[in-house]
Protein backbone atom coordinates (compact mmCIF):
# COMPACT_ATOMS: atom_id res chain seq x y z
CA UNK A 1 0.00 0.00 0.00
CA UNK A 2 1.37 3.47 -0.84
CA UNK A 3 2.14 5.47 2.30
CA UNK A 4 4.15 8.44 3.44
CA UNK A 5 5.73 8.79 6.87
CA UNK A 6 5.26 12.13 8.61
CA UNK A 7 7.76 13.91 10.85
CA UNK A 8 6.31 12.24 13.97
CA UNK A 9 6.51 8.76 12.42
CA UNK A 10 2.85 8.41 11.47
CA UNK A 11 2.18 6.43 8.29
CA UNK A 12 -0.47 7.97 6.04
CA UNK A 13 -2.08 5.72 3.43
CA UNK A 14 -3.12 7.31 0.14
CA UNK A 15 -4.54 6.52 -3.29
CA UNK A 16 -3.15 8.26 -6.38
CA UNK A 17 -4.73 7.50 -9.75
CA UNK A 18 -4.63 9.02 -13.21
CA UNK A 19 -2.96 12.13 -14.61
CA UNK A 20 -3.93 15.70 -15.40
CA UNK A 21 -4.95 18.36 -12.91
CA UNK A 22 -4.94 16.86 -9.40
CA UNK A 23 -8.06 16.73 -7.23
CA UNK A 24 -7.31 15.91 -3.60
CA UNK A 25 -10.16 14.54 -1.47
CA UNK A 26 -10.30 14.81 2.35
CA UNK A 27 -12.87 12.53 3.99
CA UNK A 28 -15.24 12.97 6.91
CA UNK A 29 -15.10 11.51 10.41
CA UNK A 30 -14.68 8.57 11.13
CA UNK A 31 -14.33 7.35 7.55
CA UNK A 32 -11.51 6.78 5.06
CA UNK A 33 -10.46 7.52 1.50
CA UNK A 34 -12.94 4.83 0.41
CA UNK A 35 -15.78 7.25 1.03
CA UNK A 36 -14.69 9.09 -2.13
CA UNK A 37 -14.82 6.07 -4.47
CA UNK A 38 -17.72 7.45 -6.51
CA UNK A 39 -16.11 10.86 -6.94
CA UNK A 40 -12.68 9.43 -7.72
CA UNK A 41 -14.02 7.17 -10.48
CA UNK A 42 -16.12 10.02 -11.89
CA UNK A 43 -13.21 12.45 -12.17
CA UNK A 44 -10.68 9.81 -13.19
CA UNK A 45 -12.92 9.02 -16.16
CA UNK A 46 -12.83 12.71 -17.11
CA UNK A 47 -9.08 13.04 -17.27
CA UNK A 48 -8.19 14.23 -13.79
CA UNK A 49 -5.61 12.89 -11.38
CA UNK A 50 -7.44 11.85 -8.20
CA UNK A 51 -5.85 11.52 -4.76
CA UNK A 52 -7.34 10.61 -1.40
CA UNK A 53 -5.72 9.69 1.90
CA UNK A 54 -6.80 8.06 5.13
CA UNK A 55 -6.51 10.63 7.91
CA UNK A 56 -4.19 9.63 10.78
CA UNK A 57 -6.01 7.23 13.06
CA UNK A 58 -8.47 6.37 10.28
CA UNK A 59 -8.65 3.54 7.75
CA UNK A 60 -5.25 2.11 6.80
CA UNK A 61 -3.15 4.91 8.31
CA UNK A 62 -1.38 4.56 11.65
CA UNK A 63 -3.63 4.29 14.70
CA UNK A 64 -1.49 6.86 16.45
CA UNK A 65 -1.87 7.75 20.11
CA UNK A 66 -1.17 11.45 19.62
CA UNK A 67 -1.69 14.25 17.13
CA UNK A 68 -5.40 13.68 16.57
CA UNK A 69 -6.08 17.38 16.06
CA UNK A 70 -6.65 19.77 13.20
CA UNK A 71 -3.06 21.08 13.14
CA UNK A 72 -1.70 17.58 12.56
CA UNK A 73 -4.45 16.79 10.04
CA UNK A 74 -3.47 19.87 8.01
CA UNK A 75 0.24 19.14 8.33
CA UNK A 76 -0.28 15.56 7.15
CA UNK A 77 -2.14 16.84 4.11
CA UNK A 78 0.68 19.29 3.42
CA UNK A 79 3.24 16.48 3.70
CA UNK A 80 1.27 14.44 1.16
CA UNK A 81 0.96 17.31 -1.34
CA UNK A 82 4.70 17.99 -1.03
CA UNK A 83 5.59 14.30 -1.40
CA UNK A 84 3.55 14.10 -4.60
CA UNK A 85 4.74 17.56 -5.69
CA UNK A 86 1.20 18.63 -6.54
CA UNK A 87 0.63 21.88 -8.41
CA UNK A 88 -2.63 23.72 -9.16
CA UNK A 89 -4.50 21.17 -7.07
CA UNK A 90 -8.20 21.34 -6.30
CA UNK A 91 -8.92 20.34 -2.70
CA UNK A 92 -12.32 18.85 -1.88
CA UNK A 93 -13.28 18.19 1.73
CA UNK A 94 -16.40 16.66 3.23
CA UNK A 95 -17.49 17.36 6.82
CA UNK A 96 -14.34 17.15 9.00
CA UNK A 97 -12.40 17.00 5.74
CA UNK A 98 -13.77 20.43 4.89
CA UNK A 99 -12.19 21.75 8.06
CA UNK A 100 -8.96 19.96 7.18
CA UNK A 101 -8.89 21.62 3.75
CA UNK A 102 -9.59 25.09 5.15
CA UNK A 103 -6.93 24.73 7.86
CA UNK A 104 -4.40 23.30 5.40
CA UNK A 105 -4.74 26.20 2.97
CA UNK A 106 -4.64 28.84 5.70
CA UNK A 107 -1.73 27.18 7.52
CA UNK A 108 0.44 26.18 4.55
CA UNK A 109 -0.42 28.73 1.89
CA UNK A 110 -1.84 28.61 -1.61
CA UNK A 111 1.24 28.00 -3.75
CA UNK A 112 0.06 24.48 -4.63
CA UNK A 113 -3.69 25.22 -4.62
CA UNK A 114 -5.94 26.37 -7.48
CA UNK A 115 -9.40 25.99 -5.93
CA UNK A 116 -11.23 24.31 -3.09
CA UNK A 117 -14.67 22.90 -2.37
CA UNK A 118 -16.07 22.19 1.08
CA UNK A 119 -19.11 19.92 1.35
CA UNK A 120 -21.33 19.66 4.45
CA UNK A 121 -18.30 21.07 6.21
CA UNK A 122 -17.73 21.84 9.88
CA UNK A 123 -16.39 25.44 9.57
CA UNK A 124 -16.60 28.04 10.90
CA UNK A 125 -17.25 26.46 14.35
CA UNK A 126 -19.66 23.76 15.47
CA UNK A 127 -19.72 24.12 19.25
CA UNK A 128 -21.66 26.84 21.05
CA UNK A 129 -19.54 29.62 22.55
CA UNK A 130 -20.23 33.22 23.58
CA UNK A 131 -19.00 34.27 20.14
CA UNK A 132 -20.98 31.49 18.42
CA UNK A 133 -24.31 31.39 20.29
CA UNK A 134 -26.10 29.45 17.53
CA UNK A 135 -23.69 26.52 17.76
CA UNK A 136 -24.51 23.13 19.22
CA UNK A 137 -24.06 22.68 22.99
CA UNK A 138 -20.82 21.00 24.04
CA UNK A 139 -22.96 18.33 25.72
CA UNK A 140 -23.92 17.04 22.25
CA UNK A 141 -20.30 16.20 21.48
CA UNK A 142 -19.64 14.93 24.99
CA UNK A 143 -22.48 12.48 24.38
CA UNK A 144 -20.87 11.40 21.08
CA UNK A 145 -17.72 10.56 23.01
CA UNK A 146 -19.69 8.73 25.68
CA UNK A 147 -21.49 6.58 23.11
CA UNK A 148 -18.27 5.86 21.23
CA UNK A 149 -16.49 4.76 24.41
CA UNK A 150 -19.41 2.58 25.52
CA UNK A 151 -20.06 0.74 22.25
CA UNK A 152 -18.35 2.14 19.16
CA UNK A 153 -19.80 -0.47 16.82
CA UNK A 154 -23.39 0.26 17.83
CA UNK A 155 -22.83 4.02 17.82
CA UNK A 156 -21.47 3.95 14.28
CA UNK A 157 -24.30 1.78 13.05
CA UNK A 158 -26.85 4.15 14.60
CA UNK A 159 -25.23 7.21 12.99
CA UNK A 160 -25.05 5.60 9.56
CA UNK A 161 -28.58 4.21 9.62
CA UNK A 162 -30.05 7.44 10.97
CA UNK A 163 -29.00 11.08 10.65
CA UNK A 164 -25.84 10.88 8.52
CA UNK A 165 -27.72 10.01 5.32
CA UNK A 166 -31.14 11.16 6.48
CA UNK A 167 -32.38 7.57 6.57
CA UNK A 168 -34.40 8.50 9.66
CA UNK A 169 -36.63 10.72 7.52
CA UNK A 170 -39.99 9.14 6.61
CA UNK A 171 -39.53 9.82 2.89
CA UNK A 172 -36.10 8.15 2.66
CA UNK A 173 -35.56 4.44 2.18
CA UNK A 174 -32.47 3.21 4.06
CA UNK A 175 -29.78 1.52 1.97
CA UNK A 176 -28.18 -1.34 3.87
CA UNK A 177 -25.07 -1.44 1.61
CA UNK A 178 -24.47 2.28 2.25
CA UNK A 179 -24.99 1.84 6.00
CA UNK A 180 -22.66 -1.17 6.18
CA UNK A 181 -19.99 0.56 4.09
CA UNK A 182 -20.03 3.55 6.47
CA UNK A 183 -19.81 1.18 9.46
CA UNK A 184 -16.97 -0.77 7.81
CA UNK A 185 -14.91 2.34 7.22
CA UNK A 186 -15.47 3.60 10.76
CA UNK A 187 -14.49 0.33 12.39
CA UNK A 188 -11.24 0.20 10.40
CA UNK A 189 -9.94 3.20 12.33
CA UNK A 190 -8.74 3.59 15.89
CA UNK A 191 -11.07 4.25 18.80
CA UNK A 192 -8.73 6.75 20.50
CA UNK A 193 -8.18 8.73 17.31
CA UNK A 194 -11.91 8.85 16.63
CA UNK A 195 -12.66 9.80 20.24
CA UNK A 196 -10.22 12.71 20.10
CA UNK A 197 -11.34 13.58 16.57
CA UNK A 198 -14.74 14.57 17.95
CA UNK A 199 -13.02 17.41 19.80
CA UNK A 200 -11.05 18.33 16.66
CA UNK A 201 -14.08 18.68 14.40
CA UNK A 202 -16.40 20.30 16.94
CA UNK A 203 -14.15 22.71 18.84
CA UNK A 204 -11.73 24.00 16.21
CA UNK A 205 -12.57 27.58 15.26
CA UNK A 206 -11.88 28.11 11.54
CA UNK A 207 -13.01 31.74 11.44
CA UNK A 208 -9.56 33.25 10.93
CA UNK A 209 -8.57 30.46 8.53
CA UNK A 210 -11.49 31.25 6.26
CA UNK A 211 -10.53 34.93 6.16
CA UNK A 212 -7.01 34.06 4.95
CA UNK A 213 -8.09 32.07 1.89
CA UNK A 214 -7.97 33.86 -1.46
CA UNK A 215 -8.51 31.02 -3.95
CA UNK A 216 -12.06 30.37 -5.19
CA UNK A 217 -14.04 28.11 -2.84
CA UNK A 218 -17.31 26.32 -3.57
CA UNK A 219 -19.38 25.90 -0.39
CA UNK A 220 -21.92 23.06 -0.77
CA UNK A 221 -24.43 22.14 1.93
CA UNK A 222 -27.82 20.47 2.25
CA UNK A 223 -30.49 22.29 4.21
CA UNK A 224 -31.55 19.00 5.88
CA UNK A 225 -28.10 18.28 7.30
CA UNK A 226 -28.66 16.74 10.75
CA UNK A 227 -24.95 16.42 11.57
CA UNK A 228 -23.64 19.90 10.71
CA UNK A 229 -26.67 22.21 10.79
CA UNK A 230 -26.85 24.40 7.71
CA UNK A 231 -27.60 27.81 9.25
CA UNK A 232 -24.52 27.84 11.48
CA UNK A 233 -22.09 26.57 8.88
CA UNK A 234 -22.23 27.08 5.11
CA UNK A 235 -23.69 30.63 4.91
CA UNK A 236 -21.29 31.86 7.58
CA UNK A 237 -18.28 30.26 5.86
CA UNK A 238 -19.29 31.75 2.52
CA UNK A 239 -19.41 35.23 4.05
CA UNK A 240 -15.95 34.87 5.61
CA UNK A 241 -14.28 33.64 2.41
CA UNK A 242 -12.91 36.16 -0.10
CA UNK A 243 -14.03 34.29 -3.24
CA UNK A 244 -16.90 31.98 -2.41
CA UNK A 245 -19.86 30.44 -4.18
CA UNK A 246 -22.59 29.05 -1.93
CA UNK A 247 -24.77 26.22 -3.24
CA UNK A 248 -27.64 25.15 -1.00
CA UNK A 249 -29.38 21.83 -1.70
CA UNK A 250 -32.98 21.53 -0.60
CA UNK A 251 -33.61 18.38 1.41
CA UNK A 252 -30.11 16.94 0.98
CA UNK A 253 -28.55 15.17 4.01
CA UNK A 254 -25.07 15.38 5.48
CA UNK A 255 -23.81 12.42 3.45
CA UNK A 256 -24.94 13.89 0.14
CA UNK A 257 -21.73 13.01 -1.78
CA UNK A 258 -22.95 9.40 -1.50
CA UNK A 259 -26.74 9.64 -1.66
CA UNK A 260 -26.81 12.53 -4.17
CA UNK A 261 -23.57 11.81 -6.00
CA UNK A 262 -24.90 12.57 -9.48
CA UNK A 263 -25.80 16.14 -8.51
CA UNK A 264 -22.72 16.74 -6.36
CA UNK A 265 -20.31 15.37 -8.98
CA UNK A 266 -21.84 17.48 -11.75
CA UNK A 267 -21.65 20.65 -9.67
CA UNK A 268 -18.05 19.93 -8.64
CA UNK A 269 -17.09 19.36 -12.28
CA UNK A 270 -18.73 22.64 -13.30
CA UNK A 271 -16.84 24.53 -10.59
CA UNK A 272 -13.49 22.89 -11.30
CA UNK A 273 -13.81 23.44 -15.05
CA UNK A 274 -14.89 27.08 -14.80
CA UNK A 275 -12.44 29.92 -15.36
What b/e readout covers 7-19, taking b as 16+ CB neighbours within 10 angstroms?
eeebbbbbbbebe
Q: Which of 76, 94, 254, 267 is catalytic?
A: 254
In the residue annotation, 194 being an active-site residue is answered as: no
Q: Is residue 212 classed exposed, middle or buried when 0-12, 13-18 and 19+ CB atoms within 10 A define those classes?
A: middle
Closest by CA to 57, choosing from 201, 188, 202, is: 188
Backbone angles phi, psi at 240, to 5 degrees: -80, -25
Q: Which of 34, 224, 225, 232 is catalytic?
A: 225
Strand partners, 26: 93
* Crossing angle for the helix pair 138-161 and 176-188, to the nearest 10 degrees: 130
In the residue annotation, 225 being an active-site residue is answered as: yes
Q: Which of 61, 95, 202, 233 is catalytic?
A: 95
In the residue annotation, 254 being an active-site residue is answered as: yes
- Whole-angstrom CA distances from 110 to 91, 225, 274 are 11, 30, 19
52/91 Cα distance (integer angstroms): 10
190/212 Cα distance (integer angstroms): 32
Non-local CB neighbours of 179 within 8 Å, separated by 6+ positions: 157, 160, 161, 165, 167
The pairing of beta strand 22-26 with beta strand 49-53: parallel
Hey, which residues are catalytic here? 95, 225, 254
Amino acid sequence: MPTITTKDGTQIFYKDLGSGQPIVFSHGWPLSADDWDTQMLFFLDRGFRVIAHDRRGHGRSSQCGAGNDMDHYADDLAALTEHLDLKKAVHVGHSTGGGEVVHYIARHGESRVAKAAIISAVPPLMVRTPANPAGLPKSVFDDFQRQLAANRSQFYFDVASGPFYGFNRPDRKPSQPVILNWWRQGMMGGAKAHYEGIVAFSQTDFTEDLKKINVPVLVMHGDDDQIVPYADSAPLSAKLLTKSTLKTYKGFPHGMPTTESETINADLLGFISSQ
